[in-house]
Structure 1
């Protein structure tokens, strides 16, 4: 029997890939369904807390709080785990007036803004993980995770999936928008590394580089695709998340352009 792990949110985008990786590596994985009463009564080993809402958080604010803070609070209170890795987001840095931020940067939120329910509930989940687990908790702040499996969420994922069927791509976005993209497999590498126990605290799970839609489109065009955008918005750049702590874990995510180039080559 391998190391024991529990994946909360194992049916989700990250949870599914993490589950497959842990099983392949010989872990004994418990993947409870939503509402499973055994979650609070059995020994959980290393908990990977992957539950959360993304696109529909504003429409479902109370479910968002439940997913991001209430359930993890119950798990911590039951205290039947060896380690807890809580998945959060680098979007908590959005709005900070800095070009680059690291994990120690104080966060700033507007409590009266209804759309901040995502940020505030994630921050509460982080606080419980870091302050109420007796040093057994770690937080992974994920940037924009992408993949090309069917149903993978997010703009770049949808773009890559569309490229399998079409060579002329008309995208409802702007070439000027910049994001930090990280491939799903690199995220899983980081989560497995965090499960080992060091470093403690918060770790940015990101590439460390903001890449524009225009820069990714250049890769597509070089590979033979046509790409155009319907918008021309040029919003302020989000802060660039430092990845020095991630590198200390031995995890160095591949640049998004390299991953996209290899994927497109596999389609030709």
Structure 2
């Protein structure tokens, strides 16, 4: 039985990792906020899921969560290995998504602080001299009924309101990866020596257009899709390269978000019927 310390273990990704580890019989420690003992006790394998993306309202908290705490852990904490959860958002408006490809930060991106802090954190990990791995998940989704995430939210609206407001272009496309797949990969990579000092994309490996999701919701619920003509920020994402991940986990077979949305609709209908 190994000891895992999960920073951000009560959040969306962190809680799924914790649940999977507990199911495997591992010892899981989730530190409380401002727990000073984290710099004194043995932490085992650290999985750093803590983060903040509210660059408009909480810029200093973004820096603290994404960089400051991590930096101190890398400098003084007692751990055997650290997995840092970054993001494929750093590939926004780039031509490629290979982990070794040069990256630029977009001037007109209102969340560029998020990208910058993620990249600073990644570099701190690699320059720390500690045993680290960096994971860049794509857009993570889950099937929790009350989740505020995009996919569960529009699925609820399709069922309960009979309509879905889409404030993006029909052709807007992203790679979607399930939280279950992210957690599973994270655990496997934490035990893979070949992943040390590597940056690894975790994704489905293909993009899904907003129109595909909307058509699926309409076909399964009969809802109305309302496309709003707004000045949407320039956000384009290349197909995420998962070559490195497939080398480390050859049997990796990610869930298809469209299949999961169909299952989500069935599950949500049943749960929402019971709540009435």
TM-score (norm 2): 0.87
Measured against aligned partners, the alpha-carbon deviations of 1:87-141 in whole angstroms (never above 9, x if no partner) come to: 1110101122x1x42111111125897742111111111111122143x101111
Does residue 264 in structure 1 map to residue 262 in structure 2?
no
Deviates more, 1:156-165 or 1:25-34: 156-165
Name 2:141's counterpart in structure 1.
146
Name 1:101's counterpart in structure 2.
97
**Alpha carbon RMSD of aligned pairs, Å?**
2.2
Which of 154, 157, 173 is equivalent to 2:168?
173
Extract unaligned runs of 5+ from structure 1.
Answer: none
**Is the CA contact (8 Å cut-off) linking 1:204 and 1:246 kept in structure 2?**
yes
TM-score (norm 1): 0.89
CA–CA distance in structure 2, aligned partners of residues 157 and 144 of structure 1 = 13
**Is the CA contact (8 Å cut-off) linking 1:146 and 1:152 kept in structure 2?**
no
CA–CA distance in structure 1, aligned partners of residues 74 and 107 of structure 2 = 25
Tell me the CA shift for residue 176 of structure 1: 2.3
Name 1:121's counterpart in structure 2.
117
- The 1:202–1:38 alpha-carbon spacing in structure 2 relative to 1, beyond 3 Å, is same
Which of 183, 187, 196 is equivalent to 1:192?
187
**Is the CA contact (8 Å cut-off) linking 2:88 and 2:138 kept in structure 1?**
yes
Name 1:230's counterpart in structure 2.
227
Extract unaligned runs of 5+ from structure 2.
Answer: 271-276
Name 1:92's counterpart in structure 2.
90
Tell me the CA shift for residue 32 of structure 1: 0.3
Deviates more, 1:42-51 or 1:159-168: 159-168
Measured against aligned partners, the alpha-carbon deviations of 1:48-80 in whole angstroms (never above 9, x if no partner) come to: 1000012x2232111111111111111111141
Tell me the CA shift for residue 246 of structure 1: 1.8
CA–CA distance in structure 1, aligned partners of residues 167 and 242 of structure 2 = 30
Deviates more, 1:223-232 or 1:210-219: 223-232
